[in-house]
Amino acid sequence: MKRAPRLVAQVALYVPLMALLGYLSTRPQFSVIAPDEALLRLSFIHAAHRAHACRSRSAAELAKLPPNMRAPLDCPRARVPLRVELQLDDRVVLEREVTAAGLRHDGEATVYFRTAVPAGRHLIAVRMGDRPGGGFNYTRTATLDLAAGSALVIDFDPAKGGFVFRS
């Protein structure tokens, strides 16, 4: 092939290649959530109560233990799983039992949940149970206006009385 047609051919091959690079570096766009939606996230770390109450060791039990380990109370380390429920309007969108971290399940439980919700007014209820025997001992309900593109985070802070809604 002669020089001029060859140059044209090179340009004809390079242009689509560069166009492909330029295009795929930003397009097609990706929608994390739709433009008319808001983001709702539930995120907290919390240590639940122990699964079993402490009990007093009998004298016979204590005698069997090495002298340096004769603690009068036997307190099992395991914690109950956290029970979490998130309700959006009349729909429960999250219902989960979260096991405590650690080999003996004696650590904190971590909860993370993300969902997109249509922008607008919503009744949001979040419940959490951290004690043996079932049931929810922390609850918070609120009706909120969620704007499109906004983000609501539900955190848990016992010092502030339980669930905290942050937007």
Partner 1 sequence: MLKRLHLAGQWVFLHVEGLFNLAFGEKLNPLYYLGPIAYYLMWVVVASGLYLYAFFKTGVQGAHASVEYLTVQQWYLGGVMRSLHRYGADAVALTMLLHLTRHWCFDRYRGFRWFSWVSGLALLWLVYAAGINGYMLPWDRLSQFVVVATAEWFDRLPMFGGELVRNFIFPENVNDRLFSLLTFVHIGVSLAVLAVLWVHTQRVPQAKTLPPRPIAVTLTIALLALSLAKPAVSQGEANLAAAVTTIGFDWFYLPVYALLYRWGPGEVWGLVGGLTLVLALLPWLPPRRRKGPAEGYHMLVRPDNRIVAVREGETILDAGLREGIAFPYECRNGGCGQCKATLAYGTVDYGAYQPDMLTAQERGAGKLLLCSATPLGDLEIDYQPTAVPGGIRARVWTATVDALDLLAPDVMRVMLRLEGGERIEFYPGQYLNVLLEDGEKRSFSFATAPHVNDRIELHIRRIPGGRFTTQLFERTKVGDRLRFEGPLGSFFLREDSDKPIIFVAGSTGFAPVKSMLEYAFHRGLARRMILYWGVRRPEDLYLALLPRQWAREHANFSFVPVLSDPRPEDHWQERTGLVHDAILADFPDLSGYQVYACGSVEMVEATHPAFTAHGLRQDDCFSDAFRLAARVRSHAPELVRLGGTA
- Among the listed residues 135, 128, 134, 131, the one whose alpha carbon sits nearest the alpha carbon of residue 162: 128
Q: Are 81 and 64 in contact (CB under 8 A)?
A: no
Minimal distance, residue 120 CB to partner 1, in Å: 15
Asked whether the CA dihedral 48, 51, 56, 62 is positive or negative, the reply is negative
Rounded CA-CA distance 81/48 in Å is: 7
Q: Which residues sit opposite 82 in a β-bridge?
A: 98
Minimal distance, residue 113 CB to partner 1, in Å: 10
Return the residues of window 71-130 that contact partner 1 according to CB under 8 A.
Answer: 101, 110-112, 114
Minimal distance, residue 139 CB to partner 1, in Å: 22
Closer of 55 and 114 to partner 1 (Cβ): 114
Minimal distance, residue 76 CB to partner 1, in Å: 22
Q: Are 144 and 122 in contact (CB under 8 A)?
A: yes
Return the residues of window 22-81 that contact partner 1 according to CB under 8 A.
Answer: 22, 24-35, 37-39, 41, 43, 45
Q: Which stretch binds partner 1 (CB under 8 A): 12-20, 60-68, 75-83, 126-134?
A: 12-20
Closer of 106 and 155 to partner 1 (Cβ): 155
Closer of 72 and 149 to partner 1 (Cβ): 149
Q: Are 113 and 94 in contact (CB under 8 A)?
A: yes
- Among the listed residues 40, 7, 13, the one whose alpha carbon sits nearest the alpha carbon of residue 152: 40
C-alpha atoms less than 13 angstroms from C-alpha of 95 in its C-beta half-sphere: 5
Residues that bind partner 1 (CB under 8 A): 1, 6, 9-10, 12-14, 17-18, 21-22, 24-35, 37-39, 41, 43, 45, 101, 110-112, 114, 148-151, 153, 155, 166-167
